[in-house]
Amino acid sequence: MAGRRAFLAGLMAGGVAPRMSWADLGAVSYLSAGRRADGTHVLCGLSAAGAIVFQRDLPARGHAAAAHPDRAEAVGFARRPGMFALVLDCGRGDVLHRLEAPAGRHFYGHGVFSDDGARLFTTENDYDAARGIVGVWDVAAGYRRLGEFASGGVGPHGIKRTPRGHLVVANGGIETHPDAGRAKLNLPDMRPNLTYLSLEGAVIEQVELPPELHRNSIRHLAVAADGTVGFAMQWQGDAAARVPLLGRHRLGGAVALAEAGAFREMRGYLGSIAMVGRQIAVTSPRGHLVQIHDSARLAKVSEAAHEDVCGIAPRGGGFLATTGTGHVLRPGGAPLARHRVQWDNHLIPL
């Protein structure tokens, strides 16, 4: 590794700037947005042990990020209703590009690269028409916008690749408009769905929740190697109601929902989700809890209390979580590290 870095340094000194890979950075395993103690915002690279490997400034609060599959390049997304996304060279710290949402659009805080890294797909709001959009960006052309297609619903939030090379989108069902800030404009008429799309925007399959759960906004996604999609929800109805907040689906199958009683302490809100093996982990910063569920039975197998926990990602055969108190930890265990950074909602594995 030392020889590789010396070689790269020599090329850069000679005016050549090769694109670094994630391996060139060494220990970085995750990305997370956060807020420093002085109130400034940052996108950080974290090691599997919770150490900060790099920090890159963001102009405002971030939400999630998308990591290029090969290059040490990441896109940090503004929190909804954000108008910017920054493409960062995570090795040298340069801002390579600033993506601006087109007129009449705003970002929803999430995006994903195609398997080959040639295209970036972003969830967006066509807010005057109250319809969800997936924006398409050409990476080789400096993240030039190629176009867009319908997400299949209202309020798309999470977006992931599937093992078959498709996209899966969590259409949360909530109508918003930047003139109204973060207000939710259509709660009585919500219709969240999970939509599978080709990379050209053709709808492959779409599934909805039962009518009595139409206020259960599908927000965040995790995809297993066999194509199973886990989805985390946020309830927009009566606070006293007990509803399932975790679901599972595979192409061609029916939606499976966990038992509502498992989430009685989650205050109707799951903040993030991750899957590894036969386990699904979900977090609730409002309930200060991490739960592990068996992915086949959707039955809770463990629960741990951690203040303001939200970010969650696979780590080996288990999980790593981040909190708004600056901790990086294994659910149920002592903190691996604590930083003067208030970690935001998501922990993105490379």
Residue 167 to residue 196: CA distance in whole angstroms: 6
| Domain assignment of residue 182, yes or no | yes
Residue 10 has pLDDT above 60, yes or no: no
Q: Residue 259 corresponds to which amino acid?
A: E
More confident residue, 178 or 272: 272
234-240 long-range Cβ contacts below 8 angstroms, 24+ apart: 234/172, 234/268, 234/269, 234/270, 235/268, 235/269, 236/174, 236/184, 236/187, 236/190, 237/187, 239/267, 239/268
Residue 34: closest CA among 45, 50, 26, 25: 45
* Pairing, β 318-323 against β 309-315: antiparallel
Summarised one tens digit per residue, pLDDT across range 32-54 is: 999 999 999 999 999 999 999 99
Summarised one tens digit per residue, pLDDT across range 102-137 is: 999 999 999 999 999 999 999 999 999 999 999 999
What is the structure's pLDDT at 84? 83
Domain range for residue 227? 23-264
Summarised one tens digit per residue, pLDDT across range 284-324 is: 999 999 999 999 999 999 999 999 999 999 999 999 999 99
* Mean pLDDT computed over 15-29: 75
| Domain assignment of residue 100, yes or no | yes
Is residue 284 within 8 A of residue 266, CB to CB? The reply is yes
Residue 159 to residue 171: CA distance in whole angstroms: 9
| Domain assignment of residue 235, yes or no | yes
| Domain assignment of residue 272, yes or no | no
Residue 5 has pLDDT above 50, yes or no: no
Residue 279 to residue 298: CA distance in whole angstroms: 9
Assign residue 97 the CATH number of its domain. Answer: 2.130.10.10
Residue 13 has pLDDT above 80, yes or no: no
Residue 255 to residue 194: CA distance in whole angstroms: 10
Q: pTM for the complete prediction?
A: 0.93
Main-chain dihedrals φ then ψ at residue 253, nearest 5 degrees: -110, -175
What is the structure's pLDDT at 18? 61
pLDDT-above-70 percentage for the chain? 95
DSSP 111-163: EEE-TTSSEEEEEEEETTTTEEEEEEEETTTTSEEEEEEE-SSSSEEEEEE-T
Mean pLDDT of the chain: 92
* Mean pLDDT computed over 329-344: 97
What is the structure's pLDDT at 190? 97
Query: pLDDT tier at 12 (50, 70, 90 boundaries)?
Result: very low
* Mean pLDDT computed over 213-218: 98
Beta-bridge mates of residue 56: 43
* Mean pLDDT computed over 19-42: 91
Q: Token pair for residue 29? A: 């395993």
Residue 300 to residue 315: CA distance in whole angstroms: 19
| Domain assignment of residue 316, yes or no | no
| Domain assignment of residue 285, yes or no | no
More confident residue, 84 or 3: 84
Query: pLDDT tier at 2 (50, 70, 90 boundaries)?
Result: very low
Summarised one tens digit per residue, pLDDT across range 175-215 is: 999 888 888 999 999 999 999 999 999 999 999 999 999 99
More confident residue, 326 or 9: 326
- Judged by DSSP in three states, 208 sits in strand
Number of folded domains that form the chain: 1
Whether a cis peptide bond, with omega within 30° of 0, leads into 314 is no
Q: Report the chain's terminal Cα–Cα distance, integer Å.
A: 19
| Domain assignment of residue 60, yes or no | yes
| Domain assignment of residue 315, yes or no | no
